[in-house]
Amino acid sequence: MQNSTAIHRIALWLLTTRRTSPAYAAVNPGRKFSAVHQTVFALLFVAAGVGIPVVVIQYGGWVLEPIRQAAASVSESMPTLTTWLYRSPLIVLAAVVLWTLVAKRLKSVSFWMLVVVALTVNPCWYFLNEWIPMYMHDQRGLSFFSAGLVTVPIFLGADLGNLLSGGMIKFLTLRGWSLRAARGTTLAVCAALVGPVALITLFDSPVAAVLLLGLAGLGITSIIANYTACQQDFSFANVGVVAGFLGLSSNVCAAVVNPYIGRYVDATGHYTLIFVLMAVLPAVAVLAIIVFDSIIHRTKQAAPQ
């Protein structure tokens, strides 16, 4: 403890000579920033937020173009190496999953269930945000303005999903249901609300399409809200790290999947398979949450009182 205190004091001395500095406040959360320091930090964040994109746009091509040319030459000369480089992230991920399953067992399984949720339901929500205006314009013949307005019912459904799912779980728990049973039942209903979107291409009416999309938004955001609550159940102390990793996973998945959605639509001229997947994947996410809740319940029962 004495060594730790000494290191702490040395670090403070190296970082600052004033007790009101941001560095001191960073390692001592009880301290407050002065008004001057708050203003300086705000200006720095604004400058970085504006300046970095400008620099990337202005000079990014000079840096990236040689890298692209080198990658193209390697791909042409050593296609096998390129293939394995593409596969290497999957190999590393598989190794990490296996190692955690062996080392942490049930705790690891519960975490990877949350990853499954992140990889299944979040991209569905991104699809509703990013692709529906184009779908309504290209497939339903709406103007760009009208296609943009179509997103309003989707977001209204999403708002209702965030509120109603939590309200239904609270309603059931107040009547004696366990949290696990209340959450599982609520999310099963929410997944059922998303299911009909698989049939959206069978309806010619834009009104019917918007209704199905609104129900899908309600069901999907209900699952996302409860999945966020599950992160606290997994580890309240490390919820920031868990949320960051899960957010990274879902964003990477969406970034990889989006080009394939475009290729599929370009090749087929329709969204049929995409909507079928959007109906199925939330059900997979709900099953993963049910497994997660079961593992957390067993872990709490096994823990010494």
- pLDDT value at residue 103: 65
- pLDDT value at residue 14: 42
* Cα torsion through 61, 253, 96, 180, rounded to 10: 150
- pLDDT value at residue 233: 85
Q: What is the pTM of this model?
A: 0.69
* DSSP label of 237: T
The band of 85, judged by pLDDT with boundaries at 50, 70 and 90, is low
- pLDDT value at residue 101: 62
113-158 pLDDT, tens digit each: 899 999 999 999 999 988 999 999 998 888 888 888 888 989 999 9
DSSP string, 11-49: HHHHH-S-TTSHHHHHH-TTS---HHHHHHHHHHHHHHH
Q: Average of pLDDT values for 201-213?
A: 91
- pLDDT value at residue 187: 95
Does domain 89-302 sit in CATH 1.20.1250.20?
yes
Sequence-distant (≥ 6) Cβ neighbours of residue 240 within 8 angstroms: none
Hunting for tokens 């949320």 — which residue is that? Answer: 243
Q: Which residue has the higher pLDDT, 232 or 72?
A: 232
Hunting for tokens 């329709």 — which residue is that? Answer: 270
pLDDT of 177 above 60 = yes
Q: Average of pLDDT values for 18-46?
A: 58
- pLDDT value at residue 237: 80
The band of 89, judged by pLDDT with boundaries at 50, 70 and 90, is low
Letter for the amino acid at 299?
A: T
Q: How far apart are CA 251 and CA 24, in angstroms?
A: 34
Instruction: Report in angstroms the alpha-carbon separations of 265 from 148, 204, 225, 262.
Output: 20, 19, 30, 5
Q: Which residue has the higher pLDDT, 123 or 22?
A: 123
249-305 pLDDT, tens digit each: 888 888 888 888 999 999 999 999 999 999 999 999 999 999 999 988 887 776 665
pLDDT of 88 above 80 = no
Q: Which residue has the higher pLDDT, 22 or 144?
A: 144
pLDDT > 90 in the chain, percent: 34
- pLDDT value at residue 200: 94
Q: For the chain, what are the domain ranges?
A: 89-302
